[in-house]
Amino acid sequence: MKKISIKGGMITKQIIMVIATFFALYPVIWLISIAFKDKNQYLANKFFFSWPLQFTSFESALKGGKFFLWFMNSTVMTIGSVILCTIIAVLAAYAFAKMQFKGQDLIMNILIALMVVPVVVLIVPLFILYTQTKLMATYPGIIIIYAAVCLPFSVYLLTNFFKTIPHEIIEAGIVDGCSSFTILTRIIMPLSGPPITTLIIVNALWIWNELLLALVFLPKDNLRTLMVGITVFKSKYNLEIPTTMAGLLLTTIPMVVLYIVFQKFFIRGLTAGSIK
Amino acid sequence: MIAILLFIYGYALVKVFDFSFRRIRGITGVFVGFDNYKFVFADPVFNQSVLNNFKLFLVIPFIIFFALIFAVLLFEKIRGWRFYRVSLFLPYILAIPIAGTIFGYMFTKNGVINEILRAAHLSALAIDWLGDPKYALWTLMIIILWKEIGFGIALFLARLMSVDESIYDSASIDGAGWWGKLLFITIPQLRNIITFFIIITIINMLSWVFAYSYTVTMGGPGRATTVLELYIFNKLARSQTPNLGMASAASVILLLITVVFIVISYRVRRRGELVE
């Protein structure tokens, strides 16, 4: 009797997971299947792949959208912002964790509070500031904003990690005559590979996928990021669904490849800072 | 070191309060007291937006329920769990504009969802998911559920790994069933992380849903899915007559709402700790 109920439980669980996985994956499978259709195939079959696979939608997507340019823009902005943010975060976290200065706790508390400020609250004043100062529609302009938005969380996370590095190691460094900076680069940084990698991935993913700031602060065709490009592309090809899907698939592939390669870091990053 | 951070946030936060009291022409304007706030509160679109943000909270219990079940099943390492895990996290990695666009097409009146429902003789369910103001916000919630569940699973799963397994063993000896263990062991053990997830999700539903609203429905039909962020964005960038004063006032209100929710959740959390 008991054995049967355990088996029954196993089957129920498998059924639940299969259904859940189907719902999770179907939109993505659907995207792929539609991208490989031409218009008539889509009208004939909206559910799944049609044979033979057609590549015409990719041709028209590549012709109609500047995917390469958008891709490069997103790459430049993401890399620039992540580098800026990481450098500042490492320096600031080092100061918070290993030095003593006036107002330390106060600044840390302000930083924690800033983590929850909605990004949209900042856009009106920054919009006005940027139109005055020529930072509007420039790479440096948006990179500064992205880096600043990422900073509170980054500093908080790294400070917590740096605090776990034992003082003895640093004191040994001081005895050996290291300056603060060499302690940071020679002792602390090599010990902090995993958290810094996690941080870089989390921030890069966020910036890459960000839409609102990119829409407001890059109002120029040749500066569009991939995410803004998609929305423009979509409204242009609203009636040619396979073409839109082909475009979306082109933008999705690099991300999914990165996800599968760096799966471990992604998952660690998702939960970073929340588990004590 | 953190000058850049203080500059961006400090300047922006001070200015957004300042601007909210002015009628802005160009880069600044005359002081008009609370006029902008009066206009904002008299604007039906604004009120609807706030209401929509609050309605989005309804999706949170669903996210938690499903995320918990899936996390526990993954934790039990049922056959194929690696594949299930990668699949269930995938939606969370996809950019919102991409997911939003895919679902935008799947949920059209003659889109694939309705075709499937009709093929399954469920024509009554083949509603105009996104075109009917009655249903559009609910459809948006389905999309948010699909996308955000991965984060919940990742969090809960990470916490489950650190639960002492002997608790489960002794519960099994006492004859606790699967649901019994979930209710009386797993949920109490995960209470802190669930609270944390609720707080994060509330903040997200208030101030991080712009991309859904913008890419799936553009806030429509009418204003059925307009959220506060989109309202601010429209007042700033898309309207025929931009009104930066009103946009600032709405930003300040959003900030205050967020702060209120954080304070409430902080209080609730502390009371929880006292009970413990």
Count interface pairs A-B at CB distance under 8 A: 235
- Using alpha carbons, list the distances in angstroms from residue B229 to B47, B92, B175, B241: 13, 21, 51, 18
Over the stretch B170-202, which tens digit does the pLDDT of each residue have?
887 777 787 888 888 888 888 888 888 888 899
The span from the CA of B244 to the CA of A129, in Å, is 13
Residue B146: predicted pLDDT: 94
pLDDT at A104 over 90: no
What is the per-residue pLDDT across A241-250, written as a single tens digit (0 to 9) for each? 888 888 888 8
CATH of A66-236, one of 3.40.50.300, 3.40.630.30, 3.40.50.2000, 1.10.3720.10: 1.10.3720.10
Which residues on A lie below 8 Å from B236 (Cβ)? 123-124, 127, 216
Nearest to B258 among A116, A266, A271 (CB): A116
Q: pLDDT class for B272, splitting at 50, 70, 90?
A: low
Chain A residues inside the 8 Å CB shell of B111:
46
Q: Measured between alpha carbons, how far is A180 from A178 in angstroms, rounded to an integer?
A: 7
Name chain B contacts of A229, Cβ cutoff 8 Å: none
**Window from A121-130, A147-156, A258-267, B166-175 with minimum mean pLDDT:** A258-267
- In three-state secondary structure terms, B29 is strand
What ipTM did this prediction achieve? 0.84
**B contacts of A211 (beta carbons < 8 Å):** 96-97, 210-211, 214-215
> How many Å lie between the alpha carbon of B107 and the closest alpha carbon of chain A?
11
Q: Is B261 on the interface with A (CB under 8 A)?
A: no
B76 in reach of chain A (CB within 8 A): yes
CA dihedral B126, B132, B133, B136 (to 10 degrees): 50
Asked if B263 is an interface residue toward chain A (Cβ–Cβ < 8 A), one would say: no
Range in A68-77, B9-18, B119-128, B257-266 with the lowest mean pLDDT: B9-18
Burial class (CB in 10 A: 0-12, 13-18, 19+), A239: exposed
Query: B52-56, B147-151, B241-245: which range is least confident on average?
Result: B241-245
d(CA B30, CA B139): 43
Phi, psi of B28 (to 5 degrees): -155, -165
Which residue in chain A has the smallest CA separation from B231?
A: A120
Measured between alpha carbons, how far is A228 from A73 in angstroms, rounded to an integer? 11
Tell me which of A263 and B194 has the higher pLDDT: B194
Q: Would you call B262 an interface residue with chain A, using a CB distance cutoff of 8 Å?
A: yes
pTM of the entire predicted model: 0.87
Q: Which chain A residues contact residue B146 at CB under 8 A?
A: 23-24, 27
Contact with chain A for residue B179, Cβ under 8 A: no
Q: Where in chain A is the domain with CATH 1.10.3720.10?
A: 66-236
Low-confidence winner among A43-52, B34-43, B76-85 (lowest mean pLDDT): A43-52
Please check whether residue B160 is in contact with residue B75, taking contact to mean a CB–CB distance below 8 angstroms: yes
From B254, which residue of chain A is nearest by alpha-carbon distance?
A121
Instruction: Specify the DSSP element, H or E, that contains B187.
Output: helix B187-189
Nearest-Cα distance to chain B for A203, in Å, is: 13
Alpha helices (runs of H) in chain A, residue ranges in sequence order: 2-35, 39-44, 56-64, 67-98, 104-114, 119-133, 139-163, 167-175, 180-182, 189-191, 193-209, 212-217, 226-236, 241-261, 263-271
Residue A256 has pLDDT above 50, yes or no: yes
Q: Which two tokens stand for residue A88?
A: 């500042």
Sign of CA dihedral B220, B224, B229, B235: positive
Q: Are A262 and A112 in contact (CB under 8 A)?
A: no
User: Does pLDDT of A4 surpass 50?
Assistant: no
* Predicted local confidence at residue A274, as pLDDT: 46
Distance of residue A176 Cα from the nearest chain B Cα, in angstroms: 27
Mean pLDDT, range A86-103, rounded to an integer: 81
Question: Which residues are CB-contacts of B5 (< 8 A; sequence separation ≥ 6)?
Answer: A88, A111, A114, A148, A151, A152
What confidence tier does A166 reach under pLDDT thresholds 50, 70, 90? confident
CA distance A165 to chain B (A): 22
Which of B84, B89, B95 has its CB closest to that of A267? B89
B78:A88 CB<8 A: no
Mean predicted confidence (pLDDT) in A1-6:
45
Q: How far is CA A124 from CA A152, A198, A228, B38, in A?
A: 20, 31, 19, 19
Per-residue pLDDT at A251 exceeds 70: yes
- Ramachandran category for residue A134: left, alpha or beta (phi over 0 → left; psi -120 to 50 → alpha): left
Tokens of A268: 């660690």
Find the CB nearest B97 among A122, A144, A211: A211
Question: In this prediction, what percent of chain B has a pLDDT beyond 70?
Answer: 85
Q: Do A127 and B70 touch (CB under 8 A)?
A: no
Per-residue pLDDT at A9: 76
Q: How many percent of chain B have pLDDT more than 90? A: 18
pLDDT of residue B21: 53
Calculate ∠ Cα B33-B36-B39, nearest 5°: 130
Please write the tens of the pLDDT for every residue from B110-163. Answer: 888 888 888 888 877 788 888 888 889 999 999 999 999 988 998 888 888 888
CA-CA distance, A163 to B262, in Å (whole number)? Answer: 27
Whether the CB of B183 is below 8 Å from some CB of chain A: the reply is no
- Work out the number of other CB atoms within 10 angstroms of the CB of residue A206: 16
Q: How confident is the model at residue B58 (pLDDT cuts 50, 70, 90)?
A: very high
Q: Write down the mean pLDDT value for chain A.
A: 81
Task: Please write down the long-range contacts of A127-132, taking CB distance under 8 Å and 24 or more positions apart.
Answer: A127/A216, A127/A217, A127/B236, A127/B237, A127/B244, A128/B15, A128/B19, A128/B24, A128/B27, A128/B28, A128/B244, A129/B11, A129/B12, A129/B15, A130/A217, A131/B27, A132/B27
Q: Do A124 and B236 touch (CB under 8 A)?
A: yes
Q: Are B91 and B152 in contact (CB under 8 A)?
A: no
Residue B50 forms contact with A (CB below 8 Å): no
Query: Average model confidence (pLDDT) for chain B?
Result: 82
Contact A135, A126 (CB under 8 A): no
Least confident of A56-70, A131-145, B10-24, B107-121: B10-24
Of A144, A211, A234, the CB nearest to B210: A211
Residue A82: pLDDT band (50, 70, 90) is very high
The separation between the first and the last C-alpha atoms of chain B, rounded to the nearest angstrom, is 41
Tell me which range, A44-48, A83-87, B266-270, is most confidently predicted by mean pLDDT.
A83-87
- What is the distance between the alpha carbons of residues B147 and B158, in angstroms, rounded to a whole number? 19
- b/e code A35-60 from CB counts within 10 Å (16+ = b): bbbbbebbeebbeeebeeebeebbeb
State how far the Cα of A153 lies from the Cα of A146, in Å rounded to an integer: 12
In the 3-class helix/strand/coil scheme, how is A11-50 assigned residue by residue? HHHHHHHHHHHHHHHHHHHHHHHHHCCCHHHHHHCCCCCC
Q: How far apart are CA B212 and CA B218, in angstroms?
A: 9
pLDDT at residue B248, rounded to an integer:
85
Q: How confident is the model over A181-218, as pLDDT tens digits?
A: 777 777 777 777 778 888 888 888 889 889 999 999 98
The model's pLDDT over B59-73, given as tens digits with 9 standing for 90+, comes to 999 999 999 999 989
Rounded to a whole number of angstroms, the distance from the CA of B164 to the nearest CA of chain A is 15
* Residue contact B116–A47, C-beta within 8 A: yes
Please compute the mean of the pLDDT values over residues A4-25 and round it to a whole number.
80
Hey, what domains does chain B have and what are their CATH numbers?
A: 33-275 (1.10.3720.10)
Residue B241: Cβ within 10 Å count: 5
Could you tell me how far CA B103 lies from the centroid of its own chain? Answer: 17
Given a cut of 60, whether residue B265 has pLDDT beyond it is yes
**Could you tell me if A196 and A90 are in contact, meaning their C-beta atoms sit under 8 angstroms apart?**
yes
CB within 8 Å: A16 and B73: yes
Contact (CB<8Å) B232/A274: no
Q: Which residues of B touch A151 (CB under 8 A)?
A: 2, 4-5
